């Protein structure tokens, strides 16, 4: 077994799409980013790469590369899952925490688990997603942005 951890954060900006785990969330603000700003996919990608000993998302998809402008992060996650399988690993389980004061994520959790499971090539029952606030403290609490943590277990 191999364990991996990933963390990512993005600033909020008005008029940007709010995409989490490949799912469009209803919100009048979204994430500022070179890509689609899907903080959950980015944290999960880093967890997978970490467990596989394959560096990190910035190394694999440089944000200076025009190819990744407004990139669909869920597709990047699929690509990473494929590379990890090619390297001889299987995704056993992933657990993620999204930290955001707003918007409310719970209505979207089932859809997000389905979406991430499909990208990873495993069932939704192998990906858990939860959300919490930081009680109005810090950058998430002041609505400056959002962050996510992910851990995963790979078998070889
Ligand atoms: O301290 P606790 O996590 O119980 O309270 P909270 O941060 O206010 O979150 C309460 C519940 O709201 C969480 O357990 C999540 O199910 C949900 N939540 C959410 O759906 N979307 C968020 N952005 C934050 C929390
Ligand atoms: Zn990111």
pLDDT in tens, 74-99: 999 999 999 999 999 999 999 999 99
Ligand nearest to the CA of 39: 2
- E-strand stretches of 37-99: 90-99
Q: How many domains is the chain partitioned into structurally?
A: 1
Ligand nearest to the CA of 46: 2
Largest CA distance in the chain: 43
| Domain range enclosing 58 | 2-155
Tokens at residue 145, please? 């942005």
Angle at 41 between CA 36 and CA 46, to 5 degrees: 120
- The pLDDT tens digits for 131-154 are 999 999 999 999 999 999 999 999
Model pTM? 0.95
Cβ atoms 52, 108 nearer than 8 A: no
CA 50 to ligand 1 center in whole angstroms: 27
CATH number of the domain enclosing 65: 3.30.1330.50
């Amino acid at each position: 077994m191999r364990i991996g951890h990933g963390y990512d954060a993005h600033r909020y900006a008005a008029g940007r799409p709010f995409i989490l785990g490949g799912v469009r969330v209803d919100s009048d603000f979204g994430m500022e980013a070179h890509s689609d700003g899907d903080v959950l996919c980015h944290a999960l990608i880093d967890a997978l790469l970490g467990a596989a000993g394959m560096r990190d998302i910035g190394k694999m998809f440089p944000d200076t590369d025009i190819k990744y402008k407004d990139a669909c992060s869920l597709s990047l996650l699929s690509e990473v899952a494929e590379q990890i399988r090619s390297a001889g690993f299987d995704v056993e389980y992933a657990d993620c925490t999204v930290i955001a004061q707003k918007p409310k994520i719970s209505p979207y959790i089932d859809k997000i688990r389905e979406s991430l499971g499909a990208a990873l090539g495993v069932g939704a029952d192998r990906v858990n997603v939860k959300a919490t606030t930081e009680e109005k403290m810090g950058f998430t609490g002041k609505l400056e942005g959002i962050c996510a943590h992910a851990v995963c277990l790979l078998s070889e």
